[in-house]
A and B are shown apart, each in its own frame.
Chain A
Amino acid sequence: MNAIEIKGLSKIFDERTAVDTLDLTIKQGEFFGLLGSNGAGKTTTIKMLCCLIQPTNGDALMMGNSIVKNSEAVKQIINVSPQETAVAPKLTVRENLEMIARIHGSSKEQATQKAGKMLSVFDMQARARDRAKALSGGFQRKLSIAMALITEPQILFLDEPSLGLDVRARRELWKTINALKGIATIILTTHYLEEAEALSDRICIMDKGKVQIVGTAKEIIGTAGTKTFEDAFLMYTEEGAL
């Protein structure tokens, strides 16, 4: 079954086309990487799929629910970990988790139970009572992802989850993200090509708002006829290979 069916999705800001007639299908349970240079249209695409901005044209079905006609139903089954850290700074780690669970409809008891599970899965029990603002950047990212996952979304968007993290924190986060495979359909945007290559089942490279190629990392390298994924990426974006 398809988790996401994007049909002719476009977004035009004034006279600038950010996303241009996007057509894409993502299977249920798939880990899908969305790559592109700055301004390629990745974040705009995610914002449309999360019902945060309205498309200029086209539509997308999220588990069968239209983002244009039935955004309330879409919001019940998705969650997002935004590009910047998105935690309530003066709430504790546990309070952040419980609040998001309750906003998405869990009872107090269910929220407590789910928060306990997330603290365990993300290895955060020792910091459960610490306020979010006291956490390191890597830990805040981990919390941000846990907050997205606690609602048990059928579709999860991870927008640049490892941006600004050091190598060790990034590798730790990869491990955490990798463990999410199969739990939900995951759409990952990232500037780290090795991250997309290591984690994604399939990858889409976007440029100037359009899909350039979709496939596994190996397929993309093969089609591009390059030695590395980075070379293939450069070939499909901006001015082509360097």
Chain B
Amino acid sequence: MKSFIFANRNFKEITRDPASMIMSIGFPVLLIVALSLMKQSIGGMADIFEVGNFAPSMMVFGLSFFGMFVGSLMSTDKETSFLMRLFASPLTAVDYIIGYSLPVLPLAVIQGICCFIAAFFFGLPFNVNIILTLVVLIPIAAFFITCGLFIGSVFSSSTSVSGFSTILINAVVFLGGAVIPLDLIGGIFKTICYLLPFAHANDAVKAAISGEYTQIIPHLLWVLGYAVVLIVPATLIFRKKMKG
């Protein structure tokens, strides 16, 4: 119950920052619209910019911003001593982890819906797979939340959190196959990309949209594996910092 009260506070902190909302929801939508218009005008553009490929990548790209929000919120709380006040309260480490994570999940679904609405105008088929895709976005959002929790637990200053979050967002774009066709490049670069979770996140969303149901779980397991690997040290470090 206490974790929900804390989550409610965090939801307000995130949603009352218009710049954050524009960045996480507006920016991916803008890119879907812009690139789809360009694709319509320039016939020779790569297939990754076709709406069925590009929209899923942008949904995942948008989710990566939520990792940054979680990390930034944690570092701001530390810098302003707000976290010190909370550490003196009966909240437990688990309450904090839930409290920082929960507010992002509904925002992830809203972001997915906005991306879908934009993509429909450029020919993405409207069918039952949309619901499945929104469900698939939740574990992917959970992965980015754990990234934010890890960064926010390890680093105390908002400058460090901002720097590492930017690296994360760029990794999603360049190592996830959003703008670089991984199949075309192949070789060791593709192998490395598929050792990381970002390309798997994109592929899981693509599989959900196209109805290739058996493809979804293997990709999601890869993403969730990373989430588990990150949540353990994040919780331990946070617990350690709680005890000074």
Contact = CB atoms under 8 A, between A and B. Distances in A.
Contacts of B76: 89
Interface in B1-60: 2, 5-6, 8-9, 12-13, 16-17
A90 B13 contact: yes
Interface in A41-99: 47, 50-54, 72, 75-76, 78-91, 95, 99
A145 to B, nearest CB: 11
A89 B90 contact: no
Interface residues of B, number: 23
B244 A72 contact: no
A115 interface: no
Interface residues of A, number: 34
Nearest to B91: A103
A86 B90 contact: no
B237 interface: no
Contacts of B85: 80-82, 86, 100, 144, 147-148
B184 to A, nearest CB: 45
A7 interface: no
Contact of A51 (B13, B82, B88): B88
A91 B12 CA distance: 7
B127 interface: no
A47 B80 contact: no
Most buried by A among B13, B16, B82, B91: B82
Chain B at the A interface: SS class = helix
A103 B86 contact: yes
Contact of B82 (A50, A83, A87): A87
Interface string A137-157: 000000010011000000000
Given A88-B9, A90-B17, A103-B6, A72 B89 contact: no
B243 A85 contact: no
A181 interface: no
A82 B89 contact: no
A45 B6 CA distance: 28
B244 A85 contact: no
A78 B88 contact: yes
A226 to B, nearest CB: 35
Contacts of A208: none
A84 B5 CA distance: 23
A105 interface: yes
A191 interface: no
Nearest to A83: B81
B19 to A, nearest CB: 12
B89 A100 contact: yes
Contacts of B88: 50-52, 75, 78-80
B155 interface: no
Nearest to A13: B244
Nearest to A98: B5
B236 interface: no
Contact of B90 (A72, A82, A95, A131): A72
Given A47-B244, A78-B88, A104-B90, A99 B5 contact: yes
Contacts of B243: 53-54
Contacts of A50: 87-88
Interface string A7-42: 000000000000000000000000000000000000
A241 to B, nearest CB: 34
Given A90-B16, A91-B9, A91-B13, A103 B81 contact: no
Contacts of B244: 47, 52-54
A87 B13 CA distance: 12
A47 B85 CA distance: 11
B90 A76 contact: yes
A85 B79 CA distance: 10
A52 B9 contact: no
B195 interface: no
Contacts of B6: 99, 103
B110 interface: no
Contacts of B89: 75, 79, 100, 103-104
Given A82-B84, A103-B91, A105-B90, 11 more contacts: A52-B84, A52-B87, A52-B88, A72-B90, A78-B88, A88-B9, A90-B13, A91-B13, A99-B5, A104-B90, A131-B16
Interface of B: 2, 5-6, 8-9, 12-13, 16-17, 76, 80-82, 84-91, 243-244
